[in-house]
């Protein structure tokens, strides 16, 4: 009719189609479930199915490894290969990546593009390693691998057909392993970039910065964690209000921190002397050993978690620790 273009439709052969998937085994579709489909548009351009098959033929493709969302297409493609008198390649359909709820992973679940993972502080090799293990395992509980090892171990027979769950906690754990393997000098380079991006006015010696990095490298899951390092570089720190309420507002805490401050003013500021001073105050106030560390950490760093308290205080130095204890005593304690 006038105004209507003509397309070319591929007529399915009217018989069952089956193939041996390298991951899922034999897959079959009944003839009545195989519908005819367009292969050439009215403007003369080929649709994906025809272009894909012809390209595979001319490129001599032997294996097609793709997501299982293409499984329905494969039956159509096999019919096209046979119609073109060409041998179909071997097919392997990889499991789809899903979120924690078992739904297809999408941008709503977090980073979806490589650049976003980079900006979030993940190392390229850690992300590569993590993605390689989605739906596949080399066995023997091996998880951390070089790219050469992945190539050596990879076998389609060990790819699982079930959906691969994207576990962000597992990715962070793996990224931490790769961060820990970095030479300290390389970690310092990454840390400098991350600190620079915070906008803090950082004016410290290279020795001080190195000591901070040496202390925190093993505790860094992503370089985005470095945003929590502010207490090492800022004069005025931010305090976790809920932690302040739980610890520093307790009755008697002002007297306890005042006694600790007075004792710390008299000692050489080393890890051992700091630890010894805190234990003495705990004994004096009948506080179980180690229980005073939490409120001291809040007063000194503003946050409830971090590296070893005594090592942190030694790096911060006596003056800064005393100043922060004074601030907490005057402004935060109940």
CATH number at residue 263: 1.10.10.350
Q: Which contiguous run of DSSP H or E holds residue 170?
A: helix 168-181
Domain count of the chain?
A: 4
Q: Are residues 163 and 211 in the same domain?
A: no
Q: What is the pTM of this model?
A: 0.85
Q: What is the pLDDT of residue 4?
A: 65
Q: Are residues 172 and 250 in the same domain?
A: no
Q: What is the pLDDT of residue 280?
A: 96
Question: Residue-wise over 232-265: b if at least 16 C-beta within 10 A, else e?
Answer: bbeeebebeeebbeebbeeeebbebbbebbebbe
* CATH code of 153's domain: 1.10.1160.10
Domain interval for residue 84: 8-94
Name the residue among 218, 189, 239, 245 with its Cα closest to residue 308. Answer: 218
Q: What is the pLDDT of residue 223?
A: 96
Q: Are residues 153 and 169 in the same domain?
A: yes
Q: Look at residue 314 and tell me if it is in a domain.
A: yes
The values of phi and psi at residue 101, to 5°, are -95, 5
* CATH code of 16's domain: 3.40.50.620
Q: Look at residue 2 and tell me if it is in a domain.
A: no
Q: Which contiguous run of DSSP H or E holds residue 67?
A: strand 63-67
Q: Are residues 65 and 12 in the same domain?
A: yes
The values of phi and psi at residue 257, to 5°, are -70, -30
Q: Look at residue 37 and tell me if it is in a domain.
A: yes
pLDDT averages per 10-residue partition of the chain, 334 residues:
76 96 96 96 94 98 95 97 97 91 80 87 97 92 95 94 93 98 97 91 91 97 95 93 94 96 96 97 94 96 94 97 96 89
Q: Are residues 298 and 220 in the same domain?
A: no
Q: Look at residue 72 and tell me if it is in a domain.
A: yes
Q: What is the pLDDT of residue 2?
A: 54
């Amino acid at each position: 009719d006038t105004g209507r273009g003509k397309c070319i439709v591929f007529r399915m052969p009217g018989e069952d189609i089956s193939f041996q998937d390298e991951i899922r085994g034999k897959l079959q579709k009944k003839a009545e479930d195989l519908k005819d489909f367009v292969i050439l548009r009215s403007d003369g351009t080929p649709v994906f199915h025809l272009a894909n098959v012809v390209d595979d033929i001319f490129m001599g493709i032997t294996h097609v490894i793709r997501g299982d969302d293409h499984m329905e297409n494969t039956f159509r493609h096999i019919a096209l290969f046979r119609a073109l008198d060409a041998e179909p390649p071997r097919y392997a359909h990889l499991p789809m990546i899903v979120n924690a709820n078992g739904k297809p992973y999408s941008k709503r679940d977090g980073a979806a593009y490589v650049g976003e993972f980079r900006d979030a502080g993940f190392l390229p090799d850690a992300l590569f390693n993590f993605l390689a293990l989605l739906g596949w395992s080399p066995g023997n509980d091996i998880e951390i691998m070089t790219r050469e090892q992945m190539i050596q171990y990879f076998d389609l027979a060990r790819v699982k057909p079930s959906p691969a769950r994207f576990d962000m906690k597992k990715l962070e754990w793996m990224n931490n392993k790769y961060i820990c393997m970095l030479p300290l000098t390389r970690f310092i380079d990454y840390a400098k970039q991350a600190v620079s991006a915070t906008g803090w006015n950082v004016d410290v010696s290279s020795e001080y910065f190195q000591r901070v990095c040496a202390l925190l490298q093993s505790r860094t899951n992503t370089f985005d964690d470095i945003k929590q390092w502010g207490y090492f570089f800022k004069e005025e720190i931010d305090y976790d209000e809920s932690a302040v309420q739980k610890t520093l507002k307790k009755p008697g805490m002002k007297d306890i921190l005042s006694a600790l401050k007075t004792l710390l003013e008299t000692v050489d500021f080393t890890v051992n002397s700091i630890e010894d001073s805190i234990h003495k105050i705990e004994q004096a106030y009948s506080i179980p050993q180690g229980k005073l560390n939490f409120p001291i950490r809040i007063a000194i760093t503003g946050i409830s978690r971090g590296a070893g308290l005594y090592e942190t205080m030694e790096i911060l130095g006596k003056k800064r620790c005393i100043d922060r204890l004074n601030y907490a005593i005057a402004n935060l304690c109940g």
